[in-house]
Amino acid sequence: MGAILRRPSRVATILACTCIFYFFVIFLPRYNEAPARLREYAYVKSSFDWSSLPQRHPVPKSELASLPKGKPLSLPKVQFAFKKDKSSAGKIRAQTAANRREEVKAAFLKTWSSYKEHAWMYDELTPVSGNGKNTFGGWAATLVDALDALWIMDLKDEFYEAVAAVATIDWDATDETACNFFETTIRHLGGLLSAYDLSREPVLLLKAVELGDMLYAAFDTPTRMPPFWLDFAKAKEGVLRPGTHDPSASVTSSCLEFTRLAQLTGEDKYYDAIDRITRLLDRAQNETLLPGMWPTFFDMENLNLAQDNEFTLGALADSLYELLPKMYALVGGLEPVYEKMYREAMETVAKHLLFRPMTPDQKDILFSGNVYVREDARVDLQTEGQHLGCFVGGMFGLGGKLLGIPEHVRIGEKITRGCVWAYDAMSTGIMPEIFGLIPCPTLEACAWDENQWQARGDHSLQKGFQNARDPRYLLRPEAIESVFLMYRITGNPEYQDMAWRMFTSIRAATETELAFSAIADVTAKGATEKMDSMESFWLSETLKYFYMIFSPPDVINLNEYVLNTEAHPLKRP
Nearest-5° Cα angle at 76, 73 to 82: 135
H or E stretch covering 107: helix 88-118
- Three-state SS for 312-345 is ECCCCCHHHHHHHHHHHHHCCCCCCHHHHHHHHH
Q: Where are the alpha helices (DSSP H) in 22-68?
A: 28-33
8 Å CB contact between 416 and 482: yes
- CA distances from residue 189 to 186, 211, 247, 256, 441 in whole angstroms, order as listed: 6, 7, 20, 10, 44
8 Å CB contact between 472 and 521: yes
DSSP 374-437: -TT--EEEE-EEESGGGHHHHHHHHHHHHHT-HHHHHHHHHHHHHHHHHHHHSTTS---SEEEE
Helix (H, G, I), strand (E, B), or coil: what is residue 372?
Answer: strand
Residue 561 DSSP code: E
- CA distances from residue 265 to 33, 45, 252 in whole angstroms, order as listed: 28, 18, 22
**Active-site residue flag, 433:** yes
**Residue 489, class by beta-carbon neighbours within 10 Å (0-12 exposed, 13-18 middle, 19+ buried)?**
buried
Pairing of the two strands 297-298 and 569-571: unpaired
Q: How far is the C-alpha of 155 from the C-alpha of 105, rounded, in Å?
A: 10
- Among 257, 267, 433, 566, which one carries the catalytic annotation? 433
Q: How far is the C-alpha of 138 from the C-alpha of 125, rounded, in Å?
A: 12
Helix (H) and strand (E) counts for the chain? 22, 16
Q: How far is the C-alpha of 327 from the C-alpha of 274, rounded, in Å?
A: 11
H or E stretch covering 229: strand 229-231
- Counting every residue, how long is the chain? 573
Q: Which residues are known to be catalytic?
A: 433
